[in-house]
Chains A and B, each alone.
Chain A
Amino acid sequence: MKKNSGKRKISEKISETIMSALAGIGVLAILFIFVFVFLRALPVFKESGIGLFISTGFERQVVTAYGSAEPLYSFGLLGLITGTLATTTLAIVTASLIGIGSAVVISEFAPRPLAYSLTSLVRLLASIPSVIFGLVGVIIVVPFISSLFVTTELQLQYLSRFQITGRGLLASVIVLTFMLVPTVTALSADAIAAVPKRFKEAGYAMGMTRFRVILKIILPTGRSGIIASVILAAGRGIGEAIALAMVCGGIGLVPDLSLGFVTLLAPVLPLSAAIMVNSEGAGSQSVSAALFACAAVLLLIGTVLSITARAVNSYMRKKIGDAA
Chain B
Amino acid sequence: MKPKKIFALTLVMVFAFLLIPAMNLSASATTAATVKRTVNVDGFEIATDTVTDGSTVLVPLKFLEEAVGAITTYNPRSRSISIRTASFSFSMDIGQRSYTVNGQRRSMPVAPRLSGTVPYVPLVTVIRDIGGIFATNPSTKNMTVTYFSNISGNVVITGSTTLYPFMVEAADFLNEFNPNLNITVAGGGSGAGQTGTIDGTNNIGMSSSTVSADRQKQIRYIIPVAYDAIAIVIHPSNPVQNLTLAQAAAIFKGEITNWNEVGGNNAPIIVHSRDAVSGTGVTVRELLIRPFYGSDNDAIVETATPHVSNGLQRNAVASDVNAVGFLSIGYVDSTVKFVSLNDIAPTFDTVISGAYPLGRNLYLLSRSRPMGASARIIDFIRTNHAQQEFIAAAEFLTIRPIN
Contacts and interface: CB of A to CB of B under 8 A. Distances in A.
Given A246-B312, A278-B277, A284-B191, A142 B319 contact: yes
A121 interface: no
Contacts of B191: 66, 280-281, 283-284
A250 B319 contact: no
B305 A156 contact: no
A282 B307 CA distance: 17
Interface string A52-73: 0000000110111010010000
A155 B276 contact: no
B123 interface: no
Interface stretch (A12-20, A158-166, A195-203): A158-166
Q: Looking at chain A, what size class is its interface with the partner chain?
A: 35 or more
B271 interface: yes
Contacts of A152: 267-268, 322
Contacts of A166: 319-320
B194 A59 contact: no
A238 B150 CA distance: 50
Do most interface residues of chain A lie in helix, strand or loop, or is the interface mixed?
A: helix
Nearest to B259: A152
Interface in A276-303: 276-278, 280-284, 287
Contacts of B11: none
A63 B274 CA distance: 11
B303 A156 contact: no
Interface in A59-112: 59-60, 62-64, 66, 69
Among B188, B195, B275, B302: residue with most chain A CB under 10 A: B275
Contacts of B306: 59, 250-251, 277
Interface in B242-276: 257-258, 267-268, 270-272, 275-276
Contact of B303 (A159, A276, A287): A159
Contacts of B278: 280
A165 to B, nearest CB: 5
A270 interface: no
A146 B189 CA distance: 30
Nearest to B315: A138
Contacts of B257: 159-160
A223 interface: no
Q: Determine which residue in A160, A163, A245, A249 has the highest number of CB atoms from chain B within 10 A of its CB, and name it.
A: A163
Nearest to A161: B303
Contact of A287 (B196, B277, B299, B304): B277
Interface string B272-316: 100111100000000000000000000100111111100010011
A245 B194 CA distance: 24
A143 interface: yes
Given A246-B308, A250-B306, A287-B277, A163 B319 contact: no
Interface string B142-171: 000000000000000000000000000000
Contacts of B305: 163, 165, 167, 249-251, 267
A138 B192 contact: no
A163 B267 contact: no
Contacts of B195: 283-284
A282 B275 CA distance: 13
Interface string B313-354: 001100110110000000000000000000000000000000
Nearest to B299: A63
A142 B304 CA distance: 17
Contacts of B270: 155, 163-165
**Most chain-B Cβ atoms within 10 A of its Cβ — which of A62, A69, A162, A165?**
A165
A281 B214 CA distance: 17
A84 to B, nearest CB: 17
- Most chain A Cβ neighbours within 10 Å, of B196, B305, B316: B305
Contacts of A245: 308
Interface string A257-283: 000000000010000000011101111
B365 to A, nearest CB: 13
B276 A281 contact: yes
A285 to B, nearest CB: 10
A165 B275 contact: no
A64 B297 CA distance: 10
Given A59-B306, A251-B305, A146 B192 contact: no
Nearest to B316: A165
A281 B277 contact: yes
Contact of B319 (A59, A143, A282): A143
21 contacts: A59-B302, A59-B306, A139-B315, A155-B322, A156-B258, A160-B257, A162-B303, A163-B271, A163-B304, A165-B272, A165-B305, A165-B320, A165-B323, A251-B302, A277-B276, A277-B308, A278-B277, A280-B191, A281-B277, A284-B277, A287-B277
5 residue pairs, one from A and one from B, having the closest CB atoms: A283-B195, A281-B277, A280-B189, A250-B306, A155-B268
Given A66-B277, A163-B303, 16 more contacts: A63-B276, A69-B214, A155-B268, A156-B268, A159-B257, A159-B268, A161-B303, A163-B268, A164-B270, A165-B305, A165-B316, A166-B319, A278-B277, A281-B189, A283-B195, A287-B277
Interface of A: 59-60, 62-64, 66, 69, 138-139, 142-143, 146, 152, 155-156, 159-167, 245-246, 249-251, 267, 276-278, 280-284, 287
